[in-house]
Structure 1
Amino acid sequence: MDSEAESRHLAFRAHGRHVVTCLLLDSDKILTGSDDTNINMYDVQTGALQKIFQGHDGGVWAMKQEGDILVSGSTDRTIRIWSISSGECLHVLRGHTSTVCCLAILNPATTSDGLVMPERPLIISASRDSTLRVWQLPNPDDLPTYQANSSGDDVSSAYLLNVLTGHQNTIRDIAAHGDTIVSGSFDCTVRVWRISTGQTVHRLVGHTQKFYTVALDHESRRCVSGSMDNSVKIWCLDTGSCLFTLQGHTSLVGLLQSSHGFLVSAAADGTLRSWNPDDGTCKTVFSKRGGAITCFQHDSQKVIGGSDRTLKMWDINTGEHLRELLSDLTGVWQVQFDERRCVAAVQRNQLTYIEVLDFGARRDGMQDRGRRIVVDAHGCEIEGL
């Protein structure tokens, strides 16, 4: 994504006045989950509403995509598996007794021991009921066989492989790779699990308040946690020891990402920080005057983060503020970008919008760059907006 290019700015209404809790972006579509119980799919080029996935009886809190399969978790305590191409709900997995807070789709990968784990694709779910559940991701050949009974139940036992117990409060975040799951809970602990056995390998204790976010760096055999105690901790997966406690944030650390060789944290103090995970030092502070950082994404060149009124971009290596992408907002809920586009779910004047900034428009000779184009559900421009 060319951060200096003039973008084509497309905007469209989504989910009425409801909060967008989940956002997925790929080359041809945008998927949004909301507390209005629905999942919407939009054409990334035109903004046209293509499908509405309906079936959950509560707000959608988690979504993951694998090819044509979409997996969602809800406050209705269920996990639904959908065909993206048809919009059909193929399975309803039940078992959690409270909100499904987070999900992961885990594909076979080579572990540090040289083994390929897991043996088949899995779904990991975590809930306010303090448990994690490990499910087999249904094979494509299984999917057309689903028929819901009158209560909407699926024969979940065919796919449920294990229930992981040990946490004493809501599980707020999970990360997984190979045979390892890391979970952070409001019980002030992080647990490292071995998927193949369902056993706790390490119970990581050190934070003094609730956990909000975890990240896993499987290559360096480390995991990272962020807490309401304002700190970030780096842990050794092999020994369970705390390697570093990262200080600097002055409020709740709610978001972490460890990828592209960078560890980045975001907090309610209005800042993002980049850290050196090898010695625990702070490399860069991305200052943002305003409210809590509500969402961000980074790659090896840039960080894009949102708070209450704006969405901004920084150079991840120098900390230089590159540009303000969106302004005059009343809320920023989600952001995702790829090599061409940046997509954000925001609130303007108490209405929910999806804003698409296409930085490849000039290269493709597209017109109307530099102005905000508001379109309806059919992708047609609404005059006067």
Structure 2
Amino acid sequence: MLSYYRVEAVIFDRNILVSGSQDKTVKIWDIKTGRCAHTFEGHQGGVWCLSFFTPNLILSGSHDGTIKIWNVKERKMARSILAHDGPIWAMVRHGKILVSVSQDKTAKVWDISRCLLLKTLTGHNKPIFAVDMNEDGTLVITGSADRTVKIWDVETGEVKKTIWVSSTTSVMAVSYHKGFIAAGYDNVVCLHRETGKLIKTFNEHEKRVESVQLKIEDPEKITGAIISSGQGGLVKIWNTKMPQSIQTYKLSKEGGSVKSIKFDELRIVGGLKDRIRILDFQAPNSD
């Protein structure tokens, strides 16, 4: 699957894959054939993050500071929100609640069904690059260039916990699951409890980590998996109990950055410099 500039974001379901790119477009792909079904244009900057709202409505966040809603069936932009005073680097949705984070150092909580701003979360003193939510949508987790991860109460807008993840550099990725937080900074992936306690660090990446996804199977035994990717062109799968990765995939032969990864039980999808790679575990030679 080809784009024209660096792919910054990917999401997918059973039928379609959606990509956002520095070429300012949102592209809809047939996940089975790899063909581009439609290209949405309208952003004035690169598209850095995506989310499904419904199977027919796609949300995109851009370097231009806007969130746009795209109608896949009607192939048109449904709404545009001037959301932030700087680039939107990441967003996450839980039900009708969307949280976007930005270069402007804020996280904003939206009722996206009404395009209504509910709260602005302020407390980071540098840009926010990453965001996630807990399973019931009551907590927001943010990762920032100020080297911290913050846990916010959605209802009150207050910080419940600040975790100093890195002593030297920006937190580029966060993923929350069942009381645990995986974070990526520099070439490191770390696993923390929600309380802030460091459980383990994983150090095999040679370059900056830019995407992590965490899945905890047993919170008491702290068993589960982390998938991470970054500037080295590698996707690594980790067992939370082991210091070494259990599997490594090189998505980019040239060693380019893997900016975004998503996975389910059957596939890992990664966005690269100018293309999208799909690892389909049902089809050993898929590309």
- Shorter-chain TM range is 0.7 to 0.9
CA deviation vs aligned residue, 1:210-266 (integer Å, no higher than 9, x gap): 21111112x2x22232222x44443332xx332334253465343322116213444
CA distance in 1, matches of 2:227, 2:281: 24
Number of residues of Structure 1 aligned to a counterpart in Structure 2:
274
CA distance in 1, matches of 2:235, 2:37: 36
CA distance in 1, matches of 2:62, 2:71: 17
Counterpart of 1:126, as a letter, is V
Residue 242 of structure 1: aligned partner: 197
Residue 91 of structure 2: aligned partner: 103
Counterpart of 1:89, as a letter, is M
CA deviation vs aligned residue, 1:184-218 (integer Å, no higher than 9, x gap): 1001111110000100011112521221111112x
Report deviation, 1:52. Answer: 1.7
CA distance in 1, matches of 2:180, 2:202: 18
CA distance in 2, matches of 1:343, 1:202: 32
Residue 276 of structure 1: aligned partner: 240
Decide whether aligned partners of structure 1 residues 257 and 128 sit closer, same or farther in structure 2, where only a CA change above 3 A counts: same
Residue 227 of structure 1: aligned partner: 185
Residue 125 of structure 1: aligned partner: 100
Please, which of 38, 53, 62 is the counterpart of residue 74 of structure 1? 62
Deviates more, 1:250-259 or 1:171-180: 250-259
Residue 157 of structure 2: aligned partner: 198
CA deviation vs aligned residue, 1:56-115 (integer Å, no higher than 9, x gap): 1111010001322211000110111122211222221223100000011112xxxxxxxx
Percent identical among aligned pairs is 24
Counterpart of 1:97, as a letter, is D
Counterpart of 2:225, as a letter, is F
The answer to whether 1:49 aligns with 2:36 is: yes
Q: Which has the higher contact order (CA 8 A, sep 6+)?
A: 1
Residue 215 of structure 1: aligned partner: 175
Decide whether aligned partners of structure 1 residues 224 and 131 sit closer, same or farther in structure 2, where only a CA change above 3 A counts: same
How high is the TM-score relative to the length of structure 2?
0.81
Counterpart of 2:147, as a letter, is C
Looking at secondary structure, tell me which structure has more strand per residue: 2
Residue 255 of structure 1: aligned partner: 211
CA deviation vs aligned residue, 1:297-329 (integer Å, no higher than 9, x gap): xxxxxxx5524437xxxxxxxxxxxxxxxxxxx
CA distance in 2, matches of 1:101, 1:194: 21
- Does the 8 A contact of 1:271 with 1:285 survive in 2? no
- Does the 8 A contact of 1:210 with 1:227 survive in 2? yes
Residue 144 of structure 2: aligned partner: 185
Report deviation, 1:128. Answer: 0.7
Report deviation, 1:358. Answer: 6.6
- Does the 8 A contact of 2:192 with 2:200 survive in 1? no
CA distance in 2, matches of 1:215, 1:82: 26
The answer to whether 1:306 aligns with 2:270 is: no
CA distance in 2, matches of 1:166, 1:13: 39
Residue 80 of structure 2: aligned partner: 92
Residue 321 of structure 1: aligned partner: none
Q: Report which of the two structures shows the higher radius of gyration computed on alpha carbons.
A: 1
- Does the 8 A contact of 1:78 with 1:93 survive in 2? yes
Secondary structure of the equivalent of 1:282?
A: coil
Residue 32 of structure 1: aligned partner: 19
- Does the 8 A contact of 2:189 with 2:201 survive in 1? yes
Counterpart of 2:76, as a letter, is E
Decide whether aligned partners of structure 1 residues 225 and 48 sit closer, same or farther in structure 2, where only a CA change above 3 A counts: closer
Secondary structure of the equivalent of 1:169?
A: coil
Structure 2 unaligned blocks of 5 or more: 218-223
